């Protein structure tokens, strides 16, 4: 699989931030009362930017269904551009890092509506890896940001696609 230096650097930085947050939360929780991250479900919208050969700016609609019996969530995302969209069901592991704040990582699958036409995450169906952070800043307001990596996400080559998302959601 071919990665550009820009994509590799972006993934390295985001992975380091997610891992550092997890390690810092683990060491801090050993000294104090365990941290309770964000619980509850939400739906939100925001921007999406593909960091690929052809930068594709668009939007996102994302949602989370909290599973209170386990540290996992079922998520859904739609990334769209002017002429196409990708629909993604995802399963993530959620790690509380501060009060009302989680980092998460998981996997899913991207279903591109019109193969061959660009979305922020490539132009064909692909396996997707994701990592991100979400925080409830008010009782019902969530801010989120994540990165998605589509594996073999382009027709005519085996390149990966990287997309950054940020948005705000309504927590219920």
How much is the pLDDT for 55? 73
How much is the pLDDT for 32? 55
Specify the pTM: 0.80
How much is the pLDDT for 1? 44
How much is the pLDDT for 73? 98
Cα gap 61→78, rounded to integer Å: 5
Q: Which domain holds residue 37?
A: 5-171
| Exposure string over 40-76, b if 16+ CB within 10 A, otherwise e | ebbebebebbbbbeeebebbbbbbbebeeeeeebbbe
Q: How many domains does the chain have?
A: 1
Q: In this structure, what CATH number is given to the domain that contains residue 78? A: 2.40.160.20
Cα gap 113→119, rounded to integer Å: 9
Below-50 pLDDT ranges, the chain:
1-3, 27-29
How much is the pLDDT for 5? 58
How much is the pLDDT for 21? 52
């Amino acid at each position: 699989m071919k990665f550009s230096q820009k994509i590799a650097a972006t993934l390295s930085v985001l992975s380091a931030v997610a891992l550092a947050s997890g390690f810092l939360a683990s060491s801090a929780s050993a000294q104090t009362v365990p941290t309770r991250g964000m619980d509850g479900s939400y739906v939100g919208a925001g921007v999406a930017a593909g960091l690929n050969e052809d930068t594709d700016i668009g939007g996102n609609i994302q949602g989370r269904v909290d599973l209170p019996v386990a540290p996992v969530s079922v998520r859904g995302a739609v990334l769209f551009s002017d002429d196409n969209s990708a629909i993604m069901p995802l399963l993530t592991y959620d790690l509380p890092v501060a009060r009302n704040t989680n980092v998460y990582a998981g996997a899913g699958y991207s279903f591109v509506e019109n193969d061959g036409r660009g979305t922020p995450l490539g132009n064909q169906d692909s396996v997707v890896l994701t990592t991100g952070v979400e925080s409830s800043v008010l009782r019902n307001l969530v801010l989120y940001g994540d990165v998605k990596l589509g594996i073999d996400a382009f027709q005519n080559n085996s390149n990966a696609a990287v997309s950054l998302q940020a948005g705000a959601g309504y927590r219920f």
